[in-house]
């Protein structure tokens, strides 16, 4: 506590206003009615008031609201009892235990203070007060009191109350504009009406909740993490925390959300294009490293679906930031023809422990012990690839390839698009049943089984997509027989492992345009 306690203005039980400093020496004591030690010192303070009340102000600041009347009636108190239910003065005076008693001079400077009850310390305080006031000792029967009693934790340290007080304090890290809502308004409906929601209910981002969320990172609340398209709006840690609260995140998820935002707000990822394309693209987040287990992410049964808070809310928080800060709303810059459920959320971890291969983040240049999030711009998925019959490694790899042939349209070849293949554990076991089956071999197999002659890309009576008949007429038979792979290169095929140990169902996310005209996968290390 500082040597000059902060001033305050509180109401006593008669409705009168009491201001500190008072212009006289003052003994200020913080009590709460349900504390036995506070109950013990109540009569002592009343004795002080009767002995010295004509020379000093002796006040009780009660933290229990209606408990002031209980204490008054229990002990026949005549000293002023002030309503400290809000605990703002307790927070400002910065103590831990009640009873807490402070002796100050006429200007409010602290002379001495005590917390809890040690009889010898209270006797010393009483002698010091009598000396300062040049008054007789107060007639307290000290021998009838115990030598020591523990105090109770001050009410202002209760987590919910403390978070509120921190948020309301002058030095609060929260700087965002606060919106006042009428007491009769429904907060959930208000947030819908204001357009903050993705269509699902939101958690109200109260100052207390935002402060708790900010505890998830060591970064400064006003640090600018990224500039979010399409409005090119600066996004601070505080704004990320607000949207993370609305999404339902826990504080320990916040570093993942921060790293994901850093990833998608790069030129390489091209979040503006991902948002604006009529194809309906959206970020898909893959998390790697130790943080997966630390925050309880689901990488096994139902990893790509509902049921896990971390998976669901991390992806949703990113989408809300892009919506509420970046301004990417349907009907505005977001012009998706059909859109995709991935615009609600899509985030999952790789099951590295169930994979025979290097995890995604190691492939992308990070250390295995790093925690990393990788963002992919995807237009659809997860699309299931079903094969419950194949028993040979090349057979299952062939099925995975055939499952990818439908990306965009089977007639489309040499595609400059990324695909994210999620291989389930049972398919992994089949792939490795005869020994090592590398990712490179799997990519080779995918390209091989999806290679078709160029003539298959020519428009025909079945589909007008592909090479026009006029263009095809200028090609030779040898050219039309040229084999063409599905994907432009192996680098377009990204492979991770996830899912239940039972069930021969892998899945794929189909990408958008890759390269300078589209979106590239971007990885960012997750830092606290």
Q: Which domains, ranges and CATH numbers included, belong to the chain?
A: 8-157 (3.40.30.10), 187-450+485-525 (no CATH)
The tens digit of pLDDT for each residue in 175-188 reads 777 788 888 889 99
**What gap in Å lies between CA 376 and CA 392, rounded to an integer?**
31
pLDDT of 147 > 80? The answer is yes
Quote the pLDDT of residue 142.
96
- CB atoms under 10 Å from CB of 201, counted, come to 14
435: left (phi over 0), alpha (psi -120 to 50) or beta: left
- Kindly report the pTM of this predicted structure: 0.78
pLDDT of 295 > 80? The answer is yes
**What gap in Å lies between CA 90 and CA 31, rounded to an integer?**
10
**What gap in Å lies between CA 473 and CA 111, rounded to an integer?**
100
Whether residue 141 contacts residue 33, with contact meaning beta carbons closer than 8 Å, is answered with no
- CB atoms under 10 Å from CB of 268, counted, come to 13
Percent of the chain residues topping a pLDDT of 90: 90
Whether residue 415 contacts residue 406, with contact meaning beta carbons closer than 8 Å, is answered with no
Asked if residue 99 has a cis previous peptide bond (ω within 30° of 0), the answer is yes
pLDDT of 378 > 90? The answer is yes
Quote the pLDDT of residue 249.
98
pLDDT of 258 > 90? The answer is yes
Quote the pLDDT of residue 413.
85
Contacts of 382 (CB under 8 A, 6+ apart): 304, 422, 507, 508, 509
Torsion angle, alpha carbons of 257, 262, 266, 268, to 10: -70
Identify the band that residue 515 occupies on the pLDDT scale cut at 50, 70 and 90: confident
The arithmetic mean of pLDDT across residues 459-471, rounded, is 93
β 452-453/493-497 pair status: unpaired
DSSP β-bridge partners for residue 348: 286
Quote the pLDDT of residue 357.
98
- CB atoms under 10 Å from CB of 359, counted, come to 21
**What gap in Å lies between CA 522 and CA 260, rounded to an integer?**
9
Quote the pLDDT of residue 483.
95
Asked if residue 230 has a cis previous peptide bond (ω within 30° of 0), the answer is yes
pLDDT of 171 > 80? The answer is no
pLDDT of 340 > 90? The answer is yes
DSSP β-bridge partners for residue 237: none
Nearest to 286 by CA among 381, 380, 377, 373: 373
SS3 sequence, 73-109? HHHCCCCCEEECCCCHHHHHHCCCEECEEEEECCCCC
Quote the pLDDT of residue 1.
52
Quote the pLDDT of residue 159.
83
The tens digit of pLDDT for each residue in 189-223 reads 999 999 999 999 999 999 889 999 999 999 999 99
The arithmetic mean of pLDDT across residues 412-433, rounded, is 94
The arithmetic mean of pLDDT across residues 53-66, rounded, is 93
**What gap in Å lies between CA 87 and CA 62, rounded to an integer?**
9
Contacts of 426 (CB under 8 A, 6+ apart): 501, 502, 503, 504
The arithmetic mean of pLDDT across residues 243-251, rounded, is 98
Quote the pLDDT of residue 505.
98
Percent of the chain residues topping a pLDDT of 70: 99
Quote the pLDDT of residue 51.
97
The count of C-alpha atoms lying within 13 angstroms of the C-alpha of 114, restricted to the half-sphere facing its C-beta, is 25
12: left (phi over 0), alpha (psi -120 to 50) or beta: beta
Quote the pLDDT of residue 502.
95
**What gap in Å lies between CA 44 and CA 140, rounded to an integer?**
7
pLDDT of 366 > 90? The answer is yes
Quote the pLDDT of residue 3.
59
For residue 445, give the 3-state DSSP assignment.
Answer: helix
Quote the pLDDT of residue 476.
94
The mean pLDDT of the chain is 94
Q: Which residue has the tokens 């925050």?
A: 295
Identify the band that residue 35 occupies on the pLDDT scale cut at 50, 70 and 90: very high
Quote the pLDDT of residue 182.
84
**What gap in Å lies between CA 240 and CA 477, rounded to an integer?**
58
Please calculate the CA angle 304-307-309 and round it to the nearest 5 degrees.
Answer: 95
The arithmetic mean of pLDDT across residues 253-268, rounded, is 98
Contacts of 91 (CB under 8 A, 6+ apart): 156, 162, 165, 166, 169
pLDDT of 57 > 60? The answer is yes
Sequence-ordered strand ranges (E) for 310-424: 347-349, 372-386, 417-423
H or E element that contains 24: none
Quote the pLDDT of residue 416.
85
For the stretch 280-297, what's the b/e string if a residue is b when 16 or more beta carbons lie within 10 angstroms of its beta carbon?
bbbbbbbbbbebbeebeb
pLDDT of 301 > 60? The answer is yes
Helix, strand, coil percent content, the chain, rounded in steps of 5? 35, 20, 45
DSSP β-bridge partners for residue 8: 20
pLDDT of 172 > 90? The answer is no
**What gap in Å lies between CA 450 and CA 400, rounded to an integer?**
10
């Amino acid at each position: 506590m500082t040597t000059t306690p902060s001033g305050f203005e509180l109401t006593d039980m008669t409705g009168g206003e009491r201001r500190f400093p008072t212009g006289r020496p003052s003994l200020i004591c913080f009590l709460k009615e349900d504390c036995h030690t506070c109950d013990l010192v109540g009569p002592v303070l009343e004795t002080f008031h009767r002995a010295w009340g004509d020379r000093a102000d002796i006040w009780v600041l009660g933290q229990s609201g209606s408990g002031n009347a209980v204490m008054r009636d229990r002990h026949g108190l005549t000293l002023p009892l002030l309503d400290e239910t809000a605990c703002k003065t307790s927070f400002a005076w910065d103590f831990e235990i009640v009873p807490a008693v402070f002796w100050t001079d006429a200007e409010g400077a602290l002379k001495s203070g005590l917390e809890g009850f040690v009889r010898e310390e209270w006797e010393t305080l009483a002698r010091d007060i009598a000396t300062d006031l040049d008054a007789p000792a107060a007639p307290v029967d000290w021998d009838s009191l115990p030598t020591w009693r523990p105090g109770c934790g001050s009410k202002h340290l209760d987590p919910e109350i403390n978070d509120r007080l921190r948020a309301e304090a002058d030095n609060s890290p929260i700087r965002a504009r606060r919106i006042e809502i009428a007491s009769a308004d429904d907060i959930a409906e208000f947030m819908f009406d204001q357009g903050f929601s993705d269509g699902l209910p939101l958690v109200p981002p109260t100052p207390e909740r935002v402060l708790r969320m900010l505890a998830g990172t060591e970064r400064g609340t006003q640090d600018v993490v990224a500039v979010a398209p399409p409005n090119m709006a600066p996004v601070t840690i505080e704004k990320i925390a607000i949207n993370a609260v609305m999404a339902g995140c826990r504080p320990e998820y916040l570093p993942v959300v921060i790293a994901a935002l850093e990833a998608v707000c790069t030129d390489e990822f091209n979040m503006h294009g991902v948002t604006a394309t009529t194809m309906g693209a959206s970020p898909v987040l893959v998390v790697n490293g130790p943080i997966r287990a630390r925050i309880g992410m689901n990488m096994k049964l139902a990893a790509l679906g509902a049921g896990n808070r971390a998976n669901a809310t991390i992806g949703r928080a990113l989408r809300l930031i892009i919506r509420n800060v970046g301004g990417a709303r349907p009907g505005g810059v977001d012009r998706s023809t059909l859109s995709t459920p991935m615009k609600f959320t899509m985030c999952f971890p790789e099951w590295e422990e169930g994979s025979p291969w290097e995890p995604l983040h190691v492939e992308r240049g990070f250390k295995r012990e790093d925690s990393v999030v990788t963002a992919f711009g995807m237009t659809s998925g997860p699309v299931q690839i079903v094969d419950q019959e194949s028993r040979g490694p090349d057979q299952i790899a062939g099925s995975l390839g055939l499952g990818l042939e439908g990306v965009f349209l089977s007639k489309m070849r040499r595609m400059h698009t990324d695909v994210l293949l999620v291989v389930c554990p049972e398919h992994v076991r089949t792939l490795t049943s005869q020994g090592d089956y590398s990712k490179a071999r799997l990519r080779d197999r995918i390209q091989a089984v999806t290679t078709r002659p160029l003539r298959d890309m020519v428009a025909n009576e079945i589909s007008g997509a592909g090479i026009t008949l006029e263009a095809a007429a200028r090609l030779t038979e040898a050219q039309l027989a040229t084999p063409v792979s599905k994907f432009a290169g192996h680098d377009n095929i990204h492979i991770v492992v996830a899912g239940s140990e039972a069930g021969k169902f892998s899945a794929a996310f189909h990408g958008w345009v890759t390269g300078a005209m589209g979106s590239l996968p971007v990885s960012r290390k997750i830092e606290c």
